[in-house]
Amino acid sequence: MAVLSEIRKRPWILMGVIALALLAFLINPSSLQKAFGTNPNILGKVNGDEITRDEFNQQLTMLQNQAQSQGQPTAGLEEQAWQSLVQSKLIKQQFDKLGLKMTDDFFWNQIQYDPMFAQNPQYFDAKGNFKVTELKKQIEQLRTSGKAQEYNQWLNIRKSIEYRIMARQVLGNVVGAITTSKPEASLLLKNRDQVADISYVKIDYAAYAQKHPVKVTTKDLADFIKKHPIAFKTEAARNIAVAYFPATPSANDDSLALKQLNQLYKTDEENFTNTKNDSLFVEINSEAPVKYQYVSIQDVPQEAQEFVKSASVGQYFGPYKSGEKYYVTKLEGKTEATLPKHILISYAGTDVAKQYPSIKRTKEQAKKLADSIAAAVKADPNKFNEFVGLSADVNSARQGGLLQWAVAGHSGMVKPFADWIDSNPKDAVGVVETQFGYHIIVNQNKMPVYKIANLAKDITASKNTQDKIYADANKFIQSVQGKSFNDFSNLAKKGNYIFLNPKQVNRFQGAIPGLGTDKDDAVLAWAFDKKTNRGDTNIFTTSDGGYIVAYLNGKQEAGLSDPETVRDRIEDIVKNEIIGKQISEQIKNAKAGSLEKVASMFGVTVQEGQINILNPSIGNAMEPKVAGAAFGMEKGHLSMPVEGNTGVFVLVRKNITENKQPGDVEQIIQMVNQQGAQMFSQSLMKSLENSADIKDYRIEVFSNKEQN
């Protein structure tokens, strides 16, 4: 167990630290001051607490390098970095308000519950006690070793752990205070069991609108938004339209790629079938991601997988098309790969013991210990995880003892170890001695692997195709300059170009929905530039030769949502509200004194039904306002019009009956407390964000940077 090994395991974190150091070295603060004005290093505030440029860059670099190490896209992480910082500030503020302090003792007491440690058995002894003293000692050794970068990285890790500890404490303290009283539980029981029998008339919104069409104006939408400011609180956004001209190869380009592949396959003087060196030939001529190596069946192009499974060594398959490439695949060999895991028991005198002087056991003691562990694992495979913390190979121990897949005869592992894993089946357990000590080995898994040589040719857009794409894009932008959004949309659709209209894009979201090019962020930067006005157009060239023509259709500054931007989302709701008021006014003005008179006004019938407060279903719709009216009115009286979710209701309550269900007050209290805790834990952060004073200066700061 070693923090140093943890840091070595995550080199991308150190890369982030180095990148930040270089950034600080290269950027002159006075030039930043000149470029950005006052406080260029302050990107925002959360209830007055500053978010600095250094904090943001550090968080962004960590996210990008983490994504890169996992094979994930690194673009578009700016918003995630920002949100992480905002949430960290909010949690810290709540932690302080509760009167809690992140003391050193408190940190070391809580660290064992953090996922980084809690899920790793090597940090606990045989009795389940957390090895806090040993961990502290390793941190101190790291501090005094002179390895400043690695120690600073631990400080960054500690900061992240502290925020997670604070989040657990805040959530635990607040959720623990959520309780349900006995009167509340009794009322819930009553509401659960009581059912109101009602007669009612429903004037359906949709049916009414067919006879009396209603147009929802922009003002109607705006009035609705003003009534619900929290729901429509928004960051700065833009409504953009794009016409995309991808560098898509033509049919002629496809044929040309196939012809070129066939020349390499059979026609050329030296070709794939007669070359004396397959590996060199594909290395020089192939455009495949996997050219010449052992791979699992999943790494073989799907079209060739069945061939590889059944073919004899030396056979060819193709040409065939897979994605944007033409392939010919040759089977060079078949063998087996093993995924081993091990526990290394070293002893005094080995190279490992020289690195870890605390290893004092003799060779005989090591052999006895290794044999006893192997016997225990053979009897119960789950015991392996209990002993893995004893392994002197700390890096593999952090992975539960797992090593990497090893191809038989080509693993690069020391021979006694490699021979054992190659010659033993899956799940076999054994002890092997090497110069490092005694290894308790388990063959965790085995699978067939195939050595293939892939000759591949990319299907790419030719110069003629690229010229046509360029001509189409330029002709289009010339035709839409100074035109309306409708003109832009119609011309794009008429030309069968890819047309997109994301109505709310944020500056730092990274990717435009439906587009996903390397120029998406450039389009967003242009759309948010102060010099870009509504109706402006611009053209962008992607790295693969495609073109994006962008049109700015609207600007939404931070505050309440622009009505037209959210029309698709709320138009039906607003329309129903308008219709509901019209129907209610007609009923009130008519002074209809019975359900029959109301029904005759709108050509509908009187209906019978039952409704419950907690399950307010009536007429295949959920209508909580109707349930409230039914239980809140006097028996036999005619209600006022109730503007529900799906129509306007007028009702008469006949009776209230009780349908007693299982459960008592104590059970209801327990259930409601559990549900409340779960709901609160999910909504706490959103609630904190909604009520916080969050100031975001990023657009202004980065816009100034781009202009300078």
Q: Which CATH number fits domain 249-460: 1.10.1060.10, 3.10.50.40, 1.10.260.40, 3.90.1150.10?
A: 3.10.50.40
pLDDT score of 573: 95
Helix (H, G, I), strand (E, B) or coil at 484: coil
Angle (CA) 365-367-370 rounded to 5° is 110
Report the distance separating Cα 206 and Cα 343, nearest Å: 70
pLDDT at 19 over 60: no
Task: Determine the residue type at 180.
Answer: T
What is the C-alpha separation between 63 and 75, in angstroms, rounded?
10
- pLDDT reading at 29 higher than 60: no
Burial 636-646 (b: 16+ CB within 10 A, else e): eebbebbbbeb
184 versus 528: the higher-pLDDT residue is 528
At residue 449, does pLDDT exceed 60? yes
Instruction: Retrieve residue 600's tokens.
Output: 């005759």
Taking a C-beta distance cutoff of 8 angstroms, is the pair 149, 20 a contact? no
* pLDDT (average), residues 547-558: 92
Q: Give, in degrees to the nearest 5, the angle at Cα 357 between 353 and 361.
A: 65
CA gap 570, 564 in Å, rounded: 10
Q: Which pLDDT does position 706 carry in this prediction?
A: 52
Asked whether the beta carbons of 65 and 20 are under 8 A apart, the reply is: no
Least confident among 4-8, 120-124, 125-129: 4-8
Q: How far is CA 254 from CA 319, 321, 700, in A?
A: 13, 10, 46
Q: At 484, is the pLDDT very low, low, confident or very high (cuts 50, 70, 90)?
A: very high
What count of residues does the chain have? Answer: 708
Provide the terminal-to-terminal Cα distance of the chain, rounded to the nearest Å: 49
CA distance 488 to 499: 9
Q: Looking at this protein, which amino acid is placed at residue 380?
A: D
| pLDDT tens-place string over residues 556-611 | 888 888 898 889 999 999 999 999 999 999 999 999 889 999 999 999 999 999 99
What six digits make up the tokens of 154? 């631990």
Average pLDDT over residues 54-67: 83
Using CA atoms, how far apart are residues 330 and 312, in angstroms rounded to an integer? Answer: 10
The mean pLDDT of the chain is: 87
* pTM for this entry: 0.62
List Cα–Cα distances, 356 to 219, 343, 432, 440, in angstroms.
74, 16, 21, 19
Which candidate, 514, 363, 342, places its Cα nearest to that of 440? 342
Average pLDDT value for residue range 462-484: 94
User: Between residues 356 and 249, which one has the greater pLDDT?
Assistant: 249
Task: Give yes or no for a contact between 132 and 112, defined as CB atoms under 8 angstroms apart.
Answer: yes
Locate the domains of the chain by residue range.
Answer: 2-36, 42-175, 193-233+567-658, 241-248+462-556, 249-460
Q: Among 117-131, 158-172, 240-254, where is mean pLDDT lowest?
A: 117-131
Q: What percent of the chain has pLDDT over 90?
A: 56
d(CA 375, CA 389): 17
pLDDT at 330: 96
Question: What was the pLDDT predicted at 396?
Answer: 86
**pLDDT at res. 698:** 85
Three-class DSSP category at 297: helix
Question: Higher-confidence residue: 439 or 695?
Answer: 439
Dist CA 626 CA 199 (whole Å): 12
**Whether residue 321 has pLDDT greater than 90:** yes
Residue from 506, 539, 542 nearest 525 by CA: 506
Q: What is the 3-state secondary structure (H, E, C) of 346-381?
A: CCCCCHHHHHCCCCCCCHHHHHHHHHHHHHHHHHCC
DSSP string, 521-554: HHHHHHHH-TT--TT-EEEEE-TTS-EEEEEEEE
CATH architecture of 42-175: Orthogonal Bundle (1.10)
Residue 89 has pLDDT above 60, yes or no: yes
Per CATH, 42-175 and 249-460 having the same topology is answered no
Q: Please, what is the Cα angle at 485 between 481 and 487, to 5 degrees?
A: 70
**Class (C level, CATH) for 193-233+567-658:** alpha beta
Reported confidence tier of residue 470, pLDDT bands at 50, 70, 90: very high
Report the pLDDT averaged over residues 132-160: 83
Half-sphere exposure of 357 (CA within 13 A, CB side): 0
- Residue range 312-340: mean pLDDT, rounded: 95
Which range has the top average pLDDT, 1-15, 329-343, 549-563? 329-343
pLDDT band for position 690 (cuts 50, 70, 90) = confident
Contacts of 577 (CB under 8 A, 6+ apart): 224, 643
636 is written with which tokens?
């036999």
